[in-house]
Structures are given as structure tokens and as C-alpha cells.
A and B are shown apart, each in its own frame.
Chain A
Amino acid sequence: MSARLFLAAPLMLAALPAAAQDHSRHAQPETEKPAEDHSQHAPRKKPAPLVLPPKSDPAPMDHSLHSVPELPEGPPPPEALEGPEHAADEIYGADRMAKARATNHATHGDMLTGTLMAERLELRIADGHEAYLWDLQGWYGGDIDKFVIKSEGEGEFGEGLEDAEVQALWGHAIGPFFDLQAGVRLDLEPETRSHLVLGVQGLAPYMWHVDGAVFLSDRGDLTARLEGEYDQKITQRLILQPRMELELSAQDIPEREIGAGLTKIETGLRLRYEIAREFAPYVGVGYEAMIGQTADMAKAAGEDPDGLAFLLGIRAWF
């Protein structure tokens, strides 16, 4: 350290007293510092005007930087804590300034906002069946905490609603890319049932938007769902979106024709065109298959356990 100081010494003439206290600043209140010269003398007038020295040819570039000793980091000198906490309070009044600071919270960080998105509003056309589906999601809140609402449902034309659910969740950021979500889910169809929900939603590496949750029903049934989707831009407005959804169950749920284990897999490939960012019609294909015991139950009931559908839909948000 002393060697480095020595190297820098010629450059430090003006600052020598201050530099000398690097090691034990607080123990040397007697040190003559320019700042104290001013502050000790009673009332100082306006700050000194900026005195510009005469123009001169610039000195040749020196390399003083490279010989600068390591400067101490740390708190400011104690006099930096003197005086009013908020300087403007004494001029304009503490009340008005406190109100203005409160306003600043909203305008400098604590903005509340939200959005509502119809990720999928679609027609599903398979041989002999025409079905519809919605998949909505919205949120309102700040950067860390949000109120989240989700709704999904589907049905066949002429046969009424098959499935419909609404979730109301509290979302809390648990990392740069993921929110923890907790709340309730209410099924309206095929029967009224409520669930507790615990999940995570966010952006996984390689830009996959994922949403996974476990559900505990009012009958004690535990199920889970995992969704992922990826936007591959073909052009700035034409976007191909592979999507996958898995459903699982911890136990048999006979009244819903669900067997324990992996129960259902749903894949889709959608090609959308963003007429505006907020409005994009799409076409696609979807393949759904019930798996394992769930598939067996479907077969036993004379249903097709899997099927391919042509998709036509709109992705829209505001």
C-alpha cells in the first residue's frame, strides 16, 4: 500500500490531507479538510460559482489512473449526516414534501397495472365433432405481488358445456422469472367442485412459458397439471407456437373417469398472425390422448381415448 501511495504522491498534492485519513478517517476529526473549513464558519452564502479556469491546451494524456491507489469504499464522512433529513422540507414544508414523496412511490416504482389475455379462443374441428374452448388469464398488481385470474373451459356445439373452471390466485415473484401462485379453483362443470391451488408460472430457459400447479379438491383428490408453450417467430408477425399440457392424478377419481398416474396429454401446434400485437388469429392442429387407466376407462365407456383436431382461433389481449 505504501509503495502505491508513493507512486501516486505527486498527483495527490491537493488531496493529501484527505487521502492520509483513508485508513482511520473517523479517528481523525482534527484533520484539516476543505469541507470543514467551510462548514465550521458561520453562515455560508450561496455556493461558490463555477469558476472556469482559462482554456489551455490539454495536458498530454497521463496515466495517473493506473497509479491511483485503491480508494476506500465505505460510509461518507460523518458530516454528510448533518442537517435536515430532507432539505426541501425546511423550504416548502414537511407536509407538502411528504405528500410529494408519497406520490413519487407510485411514479417511480410502485406502479400498479394489469392485463387480460385470451390465450386461446378456439374452434376444434374433428371428424364428426365441433367443439369450442377458451383459455383466459389476467392479472392486476405490482412487480412482486399480483392478483391472478384464470379460466378454462370447453364444450361441444349442441351438447353444452363439458368443462369449465375459474381460478383466483395470489401471485408472488419468487425469482426473476417465476411467480408462486396460490389460491382457489372452482369447477362449474362437469360438476361444482372447489380446489386449493398451489403452482408456479413463469419463463423457463429457452424461452418456454410454463405453468404448473397441483390441485387439492374438496373431496381430498390430488391432481396436477403442467403446461408449456414456446413462440417461434417465423417473421415479426407470423409466429409458430408448439404447446404441450400434461395432467396427472394421485388417485383414481371414478366419478370423473380418471385413473391414477398420468391421465392426459394434450399437444398442439398453432400458427398465428399478429395483425396487431393484441390481436392474432391462428390455425393449428391439436392431438389429445387419455393415458393409462384413464384411457382404459374411456375405452370401456365406448369413447375414443385420443383424437386429432383442426384448430381455428384467436389470441387476443389488452
Chain B
Amino acid sequence: MHARVSYNRGMISRQMGLGPVSRRNFMLGTAGVAASGLAMPAWAKGESLTHAKQGYGEVSGERIALTVDNHHFTVGGRKGHAIAVNGTVPGPLVRLREGQNVRIDVTNNLAEDTSIHWHGLLLPFQFDGVPGVSFPGIRPGETFTYEFPIRQSGTYWWHSHSGLQEQEGHYGPIVIESATPDPRYDRDYVVLLSEFTPRHPHEIARLLKVGEHYFNRQMQTATEGDMPLKERLMWGGMRMNPRDISDVTGDTYTFLVNGHGPMDGLEYLFTPGERVRLRVINGSAMTFFNIRIPGVPMTVIAADGMDVSPVDVDEFQIGTAETYDVIVTPPAGSHALVAEAMDRSGMGLASLTSHKGHRATPPPLREPVTLTMADMGMGSMDGASGGAMNHDAHGGGHGGMDHSGMNHGGGDAMAGMDHGSMDHSMRDTSKLPPDVKVGPGIDMVSPMPMDRMGYPGLGLDNVDHRVLRYTDLKAARMNPHRMPTRQMTIHLTGNMERYMWSFDGKKFSAVTDDPIRFAYDERVRVKLVNDTMMAHPIHLHGHFFELVNGAGMMNQPLKHTVVVQPGSTATFDVTANEPGDWAFHCHLLYHMHAGMMQTVTVRPFPEAEVEA
């Protein structure tokens, strides 16, 4: 096998055509503000846009001003339109302190509505920033003032919740320092992962609807892929593609770390012996990343902003919209901080270095990932069907494993191994509860979905080092011990071919007046059943739920986003103690755009607060 040292599959040739990367793009992660200062071509006709800077500044204090503008952006030989906040992509780091109050004025200089959602923050619902759910949006020329107390600490982020603006650069990090000093680290860095594409996001949405796996350049072919013919026929028989890992890939994305492409030489400086806290935020629109620093172990100390008991790992996968805080104590030298896209179509890259200017050599991209039977919701049937089954599909997962599903689903699924009947058993809609709308929007029903909290993520189940699993996460602070009084099941549904995505077969456009209802202070166990072959990062606004991951009721980790693995289930307990209307959606931007979203209402809502 030849070593692939390209940062983006297929990108190198294009980059060479555009000449060497400008040295002026080089940036220090430490400084946070880049001064690329390139002369920019006129963007739209007659309108010369200023060039958004890479990286970001920092805003803090009780009064913060953010301005949203059209800009031009260039990275890694790709250039195009961007929406920048305060002139940078990503927008500024919002640094706050637990216990303070903050007023944030957001001015919209776009020709369309915009918004900012404070991802992971506990706040009054009317300042959550979701147009049509929590507020009407910010009109062109308008300044909207958000005002709320800071009730937590940790690593979060903010982004537009309007249309597809997030893809264009409208996002940034949030760091909330704890009210009490934190002695766990000596140096503190943000690692904000995202993508840049020169394509307009509406064009990407169109191509996903019409374009035959448009961005996938890693399909199995006659000359590529190890899958035996028999299995290929089985996948073909189901009209499914086992290389459907990411909808949008390095074919159009340049993967960014703090706004910097892999060729930009972003550096994180440290002094040997220091404990460095890396606040890893997946602020991408569509990409899961595998994070590793070869040769440097990481200690995970927080997930989604909330402290967890330390877990030592060598690599972890971060779903879109999740955050993980890790502590590293690197030895002297330069170490590659690698954010490899889950589908291995490219990587984000920075150097963690004790020598300014020394770039670390990144490892090559690893082989593309191929889906298995477990990702079809066939449960874990190791050895049942040869080649594709060689992965340890469910790891050590024992959190909330659904044995009942196995009992009545098993027979059918086994019968489904027979090629002739596979097609039928993969869409047995009688397995769905009556509230799921069966129609063209559902191309698959997981025959026997299993809880896969113990699965480290696609492609990380067969690496030979320590990887993080949800079952490793234990809340560092004890949760109140309280049993849920009700359970609800939500099916994650979709149709790959038509690019339709929904909850329970119903797009958001069909259910804006039919929300998911919780009573105030009700504690509900929510089971998410993934009837698709994609991993979905499901995000609930305004709350932290507890992953039912086997850690025990009092140590279930608090999260705002949970990845539901393909063909699998994931379960969380949530206490609905934040009254109001909240968005609940898949955080893959184009899935949300296609309809994979709902409103969660928490009632009764006290009148007194509405007047506030």
C-alpha cells in the first residue's frame, strides 16, 4: 500500500495548480488572531467584500457586541463566500465567567435574517436563538440583544441557526471559566474544528437531493474495496451503499482547526512538562472527526462542557456539535494534532510544539471505512456472514442493551441473511410504533437495533490503541438519583436516495405545531432508535440530558448532544427543568435542513417569567 500523505484526498493536485500556499496564511494558534491580509478579488458583481481573517479574536465581559457580515474567505487553495462574525472565520471566542450576567448585541449586516444559538448554554428559552422556535430571528440591519446569567462553566460554542449559514463561517467558541480556580492545567487552548467549502450551502443541499452520492469519492468499485461479491450483491439488493459514511466530504471541504487549513501550519506552543488543556469543539456542519496526537496520550476531563471522571485515551471520535476537553502533557518536540474526518477523506491538522516554527509530520490518512451488518441494525452478529463481520461491532457495550428487541427481532434478522428476503426484512414497517409515519421518507427499519454506547465510532472499533467510548464517561459530580416516570421512543428516519431525514417519519415542516411535550420537572427516559445507516448527533437545546450508558444513575454523564450509531439505539434520561420551547434536532446541518428536527415544549410556563 502506498502511503497517502495528502491532507485531503484528491486535493493535492488542485492545490499545486494554484501554487504554493501563501506564507502569509501561517498563523500561531497562541495568538488567536491571524493577519492574512491578502488582497481580495471582488466577490459578487459590483460589491467588493472584505477578506475574513482566519482564526478569531476574543470578546468578554458583561457587554459584548457581535456583527455578522458577508465576507470572502480563502484557505488551502479554496476560496469563496463566507459569513464572518466580527470579521473572522470562526467568529470571536466568547469568554465568560460562571456567575456573571452577559448582554450580547448581535447586529445583522446580511441581506437575510440571521441568529445566534448559544450551544450548550442554560438560559431563558427566548434567548436560545432558534428562529421560529425561541425567537423570530434577527432581521437585516437589526441589532438583537441577548441577555442571560451564566449558570455553568466549561467549553461550548455558538452558531447561526438560520438556514445554512453555519456552513459559511457563522460560528465560534465559548469558554466559561469556573467560579473557582481550576488547578488541572497550566495552559489552555481551544481546538475548534470545522470545514470550509467554496460551494454555496444551498448548492450542496441541492446536490445532496439530486446528485447520486455526489461528494463520495470512496465508493467501492471493481478495483477498490475488499468486500466479497456476495456481500456487495447483498448491499446492492438493499439499494444501500456500505461506503456511505459522510454525505459531504473532503471532495469539497477543507477541514479547519481554528479556521486554519492543514497546510497553514497552525501551532499550539507549550513548554515541556506543562499540562495543556485542549478544548476540542466540533463546530463543523457535517463532519465527525477522529482526534489523536500520535505519541501523546490524552486524558478526557469533560464532555459537552460537563466534567467527567478522567479517562485516558489515545484517540477519540467527536460527533458534530460535541465538545471534549482533554489534558495532555507532551514531551519536548513537535506533535501532530490530527483531526481526521471519519470517512478518511481528509484531515484537519495543527502542531503541538515546544519549538516555535517546527511543524509536526502528520500520519497518512487511514483506509476508508466500510459499514457492517451492525450498522444496518442487524445487531451484533459476528461471524454470521464472513468478511464484513470482522469488526467488534458492539465493543463492551452493556448500557441499556435492548434484549427485548433481540428476542422478537432476531428470527427475522437471521432469516434476512438469506439474500432473497433481505430487502423485506430491512424495511419491516410493522416493527415501527403507530406514531411513526410510514412513507417514502423511510427506506429502512432496523430489524434489531442494539444499544451501542460501547461502540467508539465508525472506523475506531479496530484500531490498536485506546479509544473513547460513551461507556467510559462518568459524571464527575453526582447527579440527583431520580427515576424517570415515563419512557418515550423516537425513531430517527431517513431515505438516503431521496435525501430525506426526519424524526418518526415526519419532517419538521409537518410538525411545527405538534411538538414533543414534557411537563415541567418531568423526568423522561428517551430512547432514540436509528433506522438509518448514518450516525446522527442528536442535540437537545437548553438542557443537559444524562446518557444511559451503564455508569449508574448517579454517574450518568451529562451531555447536550448524543451520537446515535447507525442501526442502533441510544438512550438518555432528561429532567425537563427549563420551561419554554426548545429545538431538538440532528446536528448534521443538511439533515436538519431536510427536516430532522422537532420542538420540545416544557410546560407549564410561568406567566411571571414571560413578562421579564
Interface residue ranges, A against B (CB under 8 Å): 8, 11-15, 18-19, 21-22, 33-35, 38-39, 42-50, 52-65, 68, 70-77, 79-88, 90-93, 96-97, 99-101, 103-111, 113-115, 143-144, 173-177, 203-207, 232-236, 277
Contact = CB atoms under 8 A, between A and B. Distances in A.
Given A55-B307, A87-B580, A206-B236, A80 B592 contact: no
Contact of B595 (A33, A83, A108): A108
Contact of B581 (A12, A88, A108): A88
Nearest to A14: B482
18 contacts: A45-B609, A47-B578, A49-B149, A59-B478, A72-B487, A73-B486, A80-B602, A88-B581, A93-B136, A100-B135, A101-B132, A101-B512, A103-B131, A104-B131, A106-B509, A109-B508, A109-B509, A174-B440
Given A14-B482, A100-B137, A85 B608 contact: no
Contacts of B206: 113, 115
A141 to B, nearest CB: 10
Interface size class of B (residues with CB under 8 A): 35 or more
A73 B488 contact: yes
A77 B151 contact: no
A103 B509 CA distance: 9
Given A84-B605, A176-B427, A236-B217, 5 more contacts: A59-B552, A88-B134, A88-B581, A92-B126, A143-B498
Contacts of A233: 219-222
Contact of B604 (A57, A79, A97, A109): A79
A178 to B, nearest CB: 8
Q: Is the interface of B mostly helix, strand, loop or mixed?
A: loop
Residue among B135, B508, B521, B550 with most chain A CB within 10 A: B521
Given A11-B481, A88-B134, A175-B440, A80 B509 contact: no
Contact of A35 (B126, B218, B522, B595): B522
Interface stretch (B43-51, B276-284, B469-477, B561-569): B469-477
Contact of B136 (A46, A55, A76, A97): A97
Given A11-B481, A35-B520, A108 B509 contact: yes
A33 B519 CA distance: 11
Contacts of B132: 97, 100-101, 103-104
Given A64-B552, A113-B210, A236 B512 contact: no
Contacts of A15: 482-485, 523
B209 interface: yes
Interface string B565-580: 0000000000001111
Contact of B606 (A35, A44, A81, A277): A44
A42 B445 CA distance: 47
Interface string B84-123: 0000000000000000000000000000010000000010
B478 A53 contact: yes
Contact of A108 (B423, B552, B592): B592
Residue among B152, B508, B544 with most chain A CB within 10 A: B508
A28 to B, nearest CB: 12
Contact of B236 (A45, A61, A205): A205
Contacts of A86: 581
B440 A144 contact: yes
Nearest to A70: B487
Given A65-B550, A80-B603, A109-B507, A73 B592 contact: no
A202 to B, nearest CB: 8
A144 B505 CA distance: 13
Contacts of B212: 277
Given A19-B485, A109-B594, A100 B209 contact: no
B219 A176 contact: no
A46 B123 CA distance: 9
B384 to A, nearest CB: 21
Given A46-B609, A58-B476, A113-B206, A71 B485 contact: yes
B187 interface: no
A226 B483 CA distance: 59
Contact of A110 (B223, B439, B509, B603): B509
Contacts of A42: 608
A79 B427 CA distance: 37
Given A19-B485, A236-B221, A11 B553 contact: yes
A76 B579 contact: no
B371 interface: no
Contact of A62 (B218, B552, B592, B593): B552
A111 B236 contact: no
Contacts of A64: 552-553
Contacts of A68: 483
B519 A80 contact: yes
B483 A14 contact: yes
Contact of A8 (B309, B483, B551): B483
Contacts of A50: 122, 151-152, 544
A71 B608 CA distance: 34
